Amino acid sequence: MKNKSRDFKFLQDKLEARLNGWRSKCLSWAGRCTLIKSVAQALPTYTMSSFEVPKKVCDALDSQSRRFWWNPKKQNGSYLAWKFWDHLCQPKGKGGLGFRYAKDFNMALLTKLSWMIATKRDSLCMRVLRSNGHSINVWKDPWIPWNDDFKPKPRDEGFRAEMFNIDGCESIANLVIDPPIENCYVLSNAVQVKEQRSLQLAITIEAIWNLRNSVVHNGEQINIPTTIKGTDFRFAECTEAREPMVDKDPNSVKLWTRPPMGMVKLNVDAAILSDKCWLAVVARDDRGNIMKYWSKAIPLNEPVVAEANAILWAIQIAKEEDFKDIIVEGDAKICFDVLNSNVVESLWSISSLCKDIKFLGQSFSSCLFNWVFREANSVAHSLAKFAT
């Protein structure tokens, strides 16, 4: 519900922006009543007629309108309410002012939409809402009404579920070892494509198995978008790790190494639970002693964004602790490749975070970003896992 409430927070922001413009005006009771009914309570009508807005957001909208009614000049602080809001929400014929509770209004609009579907009102919108899509094959049927010859083309013609004939564990193993590919590749490309698909299938099957175990044994909720993002992240990380290195990078070691004299090394990592991400930062001096460590939870994000948030948090912590010369180290290769280069445009999901990290890094006497294998980042990795 927390994430859902955040999705609808724009309604509160939009209403507050309107109220701020009205607070500078000298409005009578009648003027305030008109503005609340015709603008403030009508503002979310479009959204409320399509979605069930969380009660927390609806209560916040009511609170904003109620404050404007009793104390229009101030945005914060206490105020004296001379009547219950329930009384003011009564019709004028019963002594009220005709105000509405946002949640009741939301449910009334959705009930109206449900009634239109149930009574089989004939319109394009109602036909779309009543349809279940069972009679349409999106890959083979021309389902776009205004384009009779349209059939979607998958990004990869030769890698779809109907190609697989799975009848047991042996067939799954054979699928990973010898994945199918189309005949349009020359021999050199075919080998590379087959290797990539074998890796992709292995990572996907492992993710499905881990997800199944988390649900069956730990009672966790299924989060398909996070699982998909996690497999994409792991595939990209494994692909980059397999690329040959011309010169051996001294930072790419499998054991943690002490920073140079006078510097502080901050190891970072992120762990994803079913509904949130946990960040961990461990600071150690040039003798390898742990100075401090931190962990905190943030709203659920895709793995690469969580890792970038961990790096940004480490920079902010170093600033607060007044460290002068720092090394930020972690095992998220994608993030550290971006921070050590100018390839930000292609990774829009972490673009703004990386810009903030680079900007804050300029405030230190020395600030370096190092990627290492997970074995060299085991303390931060374990702290993030333990925090979950």
Whose tokens are 């004299």? That residue is 261
Task: Single out the residue of 144, 183, 143 nearest to residue 163, CA to CA.
Answer: 183
Please state, for a pLDDT cut of 70, what percent of the chain lies above it: 81
Is the pLDDT at 229 greater than 70, yes or no?
A: no
For residue 340, give Cα distances in angstroms to 19, 246, 328, 333, 360. Answer: 45, 17, 12, 10, 14
How far is 61 from 44, CA to CA, in rounded Å?
9
pLDDT digits (tens, 9 = 90+) for 72-123: 777 676 777 788 888 888 888 888 888 888 899 999 999 988 888 888 888 8
What's the token pair of residue 55? Answer: 């009660």
**1-23 confidence digits (pLDDT tens):** 446 777 888 888 888 887 777 76
Angle CA(31)–CA(36)–CA(42) in degrees, nearest 5?
A: 135
Calpha distance 293→279 (Å, rounded): 11
Pairing between β-strand 264-272 and β-strand 325-330 as defined by DSSP bridges:
parallel
Residue-wise pLDDT for 134-176, tens only, equals: 677 766 677 766 666 776 665 555 556 666 677 778 888 888 8
Given this model, what pLDDT does residue 1 score?
A: 43
User: What pLDDT does 285 receive?
Assistant: 92
Q: Report which residue type is found at 378.
A: S
In terms of average pLDDT, the best of 191-195, 219-223, 263-267 is 263-267
**Rounded mean pLDDT, 324-335:** 91
Residues 25-66 pLDDT 10s: 677 888 888 888 888 888 888 889 888 888 999 998 888 888
pLDDT at residue 248, as a whole number? 46
How far is Cα 208 from Cα 205, in angstroms, rounded to an integer?
Answer: 5
Task: Pick the closest to residue 226 from 310, 308, 302 (CA basis).
Answer: 302
CA distance 251 to 254: 9
Residue 378 confidence (pLDDT) above 50:
yes
Asked if pLDDT for residue 249 goes beyond 70, the answer is no
- In the chain the domains, ranked by start, together with CATH numbers, are 4-111 (no CATH), 163-241 (no CATH), 264-387 (3.30.420.10)
At 370 the pLDDT is 92
- Per the DSSP assignment, residues forming a β-bridge with 295 are 280
pLDDT computed for residue 2 by the predictor: 47
